[in-house]
Amino acid sequence: MVKAADGRALAVETHGDPRGRPVFLLHGMPGSRVGPHPRSTVLYRLGVRLVSFDRPGYGDSTRLPGRRVAAAAVDVRTIADDLGIDAFAVLGRSGGGPHALACATLLPERVTRAAVLVGLAPRDAAGLDWYGGMTPSNVRAYREAERGHDRIAAGMLFRSQQIRADPVSLLKGLRPELPATDREVVADTGLRRMLQSNYREAFRHGADGWIDDVLAFTAGWGFQVGDIGVPTWLWHGADDQFSPVDHSRWLADHIPGSELFLEPGAAHFGAFRVMATALNWAAGRAPGG
């Protein structure tokens, strides 16, 4: 556990090679520090020291009311200082993507590389149809969030209680909207077990983290992605409907020097299958190298 300057608790875990290249993993939404990641044997082979933490309001991390996406950079810097890490890469998956970009923008003296898998673009992204191609359940949630905290709090709290009692219920609820490729990914027994632990931990103390993430994504992020000056690698499944692929296309057009890889036939949960590739790149090597 790491203590922030304002007294908040930040729940942190590390995996892999303690002498490896540090990479911060920014979890999805909803998610937690125990979310899916490559096995320790893989991390050792990659030479990676993986650092994960619960965003405020998730798991055992204290809530930060009204937080913006930019707040993640402050917490990551605090954790890095506590662990004695000077320079590090960041990897964000899905809802963790914007938070990884916050670190890349606001911590240029610390962040070496940023990788984002199936990420989101800012809500005010000029020229982007933000809801275009997005699954109906996500559209409803984000549009309600745009109308304020009270519009979403009760419903998300009730849903989080259901998921905590039965983590599989989240995947069951998503199944009608999952393309065949995503259904195949989440059918893996090991991944489902990790996702169940992830969701149970995420909602250990309620739905505050989930609520605050949704609110943060539909408001100003507190930074401009055009200011990113570190190497940035973007990956997106071409069939993704939870975070539509045009979000990564927009990011690639607006982050200087960024590289975008679109994988045909893959969708949202396909990001789990490329995490080792992303970590390999984040550690300073070419994807797959």
Residue 53, SS3 per DSSP: strand
> Per residue in 147-171, is it b (16+ CB within 10 Å) or e — as a string?
eeeeebbeebeebbeebbeebeebb
Contact 61, 31 (CB under 8 A): no
Q: Tell me the average pLDDT across 233-240.
A: 96
- Six-digit token string for 129: 């149809």
Q: Tell me the average pLDDT across 4-11.
A: 97
Per-residue pLDDT reduced to its tens digit, 182-198: 888 878 888 888 888 99
Whole-number pLDDT of residue 206:
92
Q: pTM for the complete prediction?
A: 0.93
Provide the CATH topology of domain 2-282: Rossmann fold (3.40.50)
Helix ranges (H only) for 24-128 are 40-46, 71-83, 96-106
Per-residue pLDDT reduced to its tens digit, 276-289: 999 999 998 655 44
| pLDDT > 80? residue 174 | no
Query: What mean pLDDT value characterizes the chain?
Result: 92
